[in-house]
Amino acid sequence: RRHLRSGTRLCAARWAAGHWELELNRNGENTIESADVVVSAVGLFGAPRLPDIDGLVDFGGALMHTAHWDAGVELAGRNVAVIGTGASGVQVVPELVGYAASLTVFQRTPPWMVPKDDRHYSATELRRFRRDPLASRRERWKLWKFQHDNTATMADDPVVASRSQFATSFLERTVADPELRRALTPHYPFRCKRVLLGDDYYQALQRDHVRLITDPIERITATSVRTTAGDEVPVDAIVLATGFETSDYLAGIEVVGVGGRSLHHRWGGDPSAYLGTAVNGFPNFFMLYGPNTNQGGNSIVYVLEAGARLVASAVRRIARRGGYLDVRADAEKKYNTRLSEDLERTVWTRCDSYFRSPSGRIVTQWPYTELDYARRTWRLRRRDWAHHPSAMPKSMTPRINSPATRSS
């Protein structure tokens, strides 16, 4: 606990005279503290995305985004609308269906779905795991390998076609009504958008008091949602399952590097970084889950641990030798040029999704395997980094202010 600063928000980080000055806010009071190294772990899904729908602010009932859930709002026995059918919508709909009087789901684009294939481990299996640690390791490895073998990102990879057939078969055997099945059939390539786990969601949509509407929303009134087809749905509460501003990395945090350069200004809404962890001109500043590190199919935890290992290697060097590290501009440019070329060959270029920045460039996804990321981040490549000495003694351990994340 001595390493934690709860209820504290990082407002800004500014590079000055060989260290970072952090502007922190706690209980409405701003303070300035210094750090030798800053590690941003704010993640990819930070700033909620609100839909641009006429009349949204005039709605008279309960209105909430899934990222800002209001547990004080009573939804039992009420008419609830869910706007959005991405990952947030697919997770929230099965939870609401059990106690809402009616549930109306407004869909713009259907997601590709696969079964979760989840089950309880038997008492015999659990005893074996407790008795033999290798047994649980083997089980974890089997799960990891299955995901690894079925992860495909390139548009011409035959795995994409085979998994598409698997998802289509899953929809056909799970949803009996032909009209509903047509509404839930995607018309873009498999894996172009995020693939979701659909067992509970498909079942929820087939309940008698649940309705799926695919017509665009025209406007929201004080008491209803009106579609372009003229359908007016009375609702008591609206849940916005409209996702996040995924290209807005480090949203709400001002980061100013060497020469007073703003990181957000440099990115201009089109973020990039060397291995998703560092940007030239922002020394001793590292990111986890930064640009282009979102895994295409396997565990994101594996990728985050690999990135953390690279950051730890950098911090050890700073602690040992003093000074500060800055990724070289040519190394960063070469890395991102090759990355962009390879991303153009992926299935993600075949549709619009939250993977893209406003410019259309894919800024969230890692187009290779999780093993490739682990290999590239295994240790610092000395030629890709510039080490600058400073007056800081070599024996001094860098002061790392860990709350470089916004409090939630």
DSSP string, 74-135: --TTSEEEEE--SHHHHHHHHHHTTT-SEEEEE-SSPPPEE-----PPPHHHHHHHHH-HHH
- Residue at 401: amino acid letter: N
Helix (H) or strand (E) holding 11: strand 8-16
User: What's the CA gap between 393 and 323, in Å, rounded?
Assistant: 8
Rounded mean pLDDT, 34-45? 93
Q: Please, what is the end-to-end C-alpha distance for the chain in angstroms? A: 17
- The answer to whether residue 403 scores a pLDDT higher than 50 is no
- Residue at 216: amino acid letter: P
Question: Which pLDDT score is estimated for 198?
Answer: 87
Rounded mean pLDDT, 95-119? 95
User: What's the CA gap between 131 and 327, in Å, rounded?
Assistant: 47
Question: Which pLDDT score is estimated for 194?
Answer: 93
Alpha carbon 137 to its chain's center: 27
Question: Which pLDDT score is estimated for 17?
Answer: 87
Question: Which pLDDT score is estimated for 166?
Answer: 93
Question: Which pLDDT score is estimated for 205?
Answer: 98
Question: Which pLDDT score is estimated for 297?
Answer: 80
Question: Which pLDDT score is estimated for 294?
Answer: 95
Dihedral sign from CA coordinates of 283, 281, 263, 375: negative
Residues 6+ apart with CB under 8 A from 55: 219, 220, 221
In this structure, the strands spanning 38-40 and 29-35 are: unpaired
- The answer to whether residue 52 scores a pLDDT higher than 90 is yes
Rounded mean pLDDT, 341-353? 94
For residue 156, what pLDDT band results from cuts at 50, 70 and 90? Answer: confident
Q: What are the structure tokens assigned to 8, written together?
A: 């504290």
DSSP three-state, residue 283 = coil
Match 């600058």 to its residue by tokens.
388
Burial class, 150, CB count within 10 angstroms (exposed 0-12 / middle 13-18 / buried 19+): middle
User: What's the CA gap between 351 and 155, in Å, rounded?
Assistant: 12
| Structure confidence by residue, pLDDT tens digits, 196-225 | 998 999 999 999 999 999 999 999 999 999
Rounded mean pLDDT, 92-102? 96
CB 191 within 8 A of CB 112: yes
User: What's the CA gap between 84 and 207, in Å, rounded?
Assistant: 18
Phi, psi of 362 (to 5 degrees): -80, 115
Question: Which pLDDT score is estimated for 295?
Answer: 87
- The answer to whether residue 407 scores a pLDDT higher than 90 is no
In this structure, the number of other CB atoms found within 10 A of the CB of residue 371 comes to 12
Helix (H) or strand (E) holding 307: helix 300-321
For residue 155, what pLDDT band results from cuts at 50, 70 and 90? Answer: confident
Rounded mean pLDDT, 296-300? 85
What CA–CA distances, in Å, run from 105 to 115, 129, 141, 202, 204? Answer: 20, 42, 37, 12, 11
Question: Which pLDDT score is estimated for 380?
Answer: 93
- The answer to whether residue 327 scores a pLDDT higher than 90 is yes
Question: Which pLDDT score is estimated for 45?
Answer: 87
For residue 187, what pLDDT band results from cuts at 50, 70 and 90? Answer: very high
Residues 6+ apart with CB under 8 A from 99: 75, 76, 77
For residue 46, what pLDDT band results from cuts at 50, 70 and 90? Answer: confident
Averaged pLDDT of the chain: 92
